[in-house]
C-alpha cells in the first residue's frame, strides 16, 4: 500500500483541500493519504465550505503535525506552500518522491465575504487541477 503526505504550514487549508481531492481521485485504490503541517492551525472554515460546494466533505479531517507521522514510510511527500518546503523537518522515508507546488493561500485574503469566497474558489481550482494530474501521472 502506498502512502502520500501533503504538507503545508498549518494543515488548515491548502493541504486539507489537497487531502480531500486525493481521496476523491484515488477512490478504490489502495493508498493512504495523510495531510500535516509543520504547525497546526485547525481546519479552516473557508476550506471546509468551498470543498463542500464541490461535493467533497472534509469535515472529519483534523489538523495534524508532521511529527505525528514520523513512523510512516511515505512514497510521496508533496509540499503545497513555500514556507513548508523551506522549513520542512527531515522526514525519514526511504524512497519518497518529493514534489512541491506553491499554491495561492486564500486564508490570507482580507476583504468582503465575496472576495474571500473568490479566493478560496481560486485556490480550490488550482489544487483540484494539480492533484487530478498528479493521480493521472502516478497512479
Q: What is the mean pLDDT of residues 74-98?
A: 87
pTM: 0.94
Number of domains in the chain: 1
Residue 28: per-residue pLDDT: 81
Q: What was the pLDDT predicted at 88?
A: 73
pLDDT tens figures, 43-58:
999 999 999 999 999 9
Report the CATH number at residue 75. Answer: 3.40.50.2300
How would you list the strands of the sheet with 97-100, edge to edge?
31-37, 2-8, 76-79, 97-100
Q: State the average pLDDT over residues 15-26.
A: 97
Torsion of CA 66, 70, 72, 74, to 10 degrees: 60
Expressed as residue numbers, the domain containing 14 is: 2-138
Q: Higher-confidence residue: 85 or 79?
A: 79
What residues are labeled active site? Answer: 8, 81, 88
Burial class (CB in 10 A: 0-12, 13-18, 19+), 64: middle
CA distance 31 to 94: 17
Amino acid at each position: 500500500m502506498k502512502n502520500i503526505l501533503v504538507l503545508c504550514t498549518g494543515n488548515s487549508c491548502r493541504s486539507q483541500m489537497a487531502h480531500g481531492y486525493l481521496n476523491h481521485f484515488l477512490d478504490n485504490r489502495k493508498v493512504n493519504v495523510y495531510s500535516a503541517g509543520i504547525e497546526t492551525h485547525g481546519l479552516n472554515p473557508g476550506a471546509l465550505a468551498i470543498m463542500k460546494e464541490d461535493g467533497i466533505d472534509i469535515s472529519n479531517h483534523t489538523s495534524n503535525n508532521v511529527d505525528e507521522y514520523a513512523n510512516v514510510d511515505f512514497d510521496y511527500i508533496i509540499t503545497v506552500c513555500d514556507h513548508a518546503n523551506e522549513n520542512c523537518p527531515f522526514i525519514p522515508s526511504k524512497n519518497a518522491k518529493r514534489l512541491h507546488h506553491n499554491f495561492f493561500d486564500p486564508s490570507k485574503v482580507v476583504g468582503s465575504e465575496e472576495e474571500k469566497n473568490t479566493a478560496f474558489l481560486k485556490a480550490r481550482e488550482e489544487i483540484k487541477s494539480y492533484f487530478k494530474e498528479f493521480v493521472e501521472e502516478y497512479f
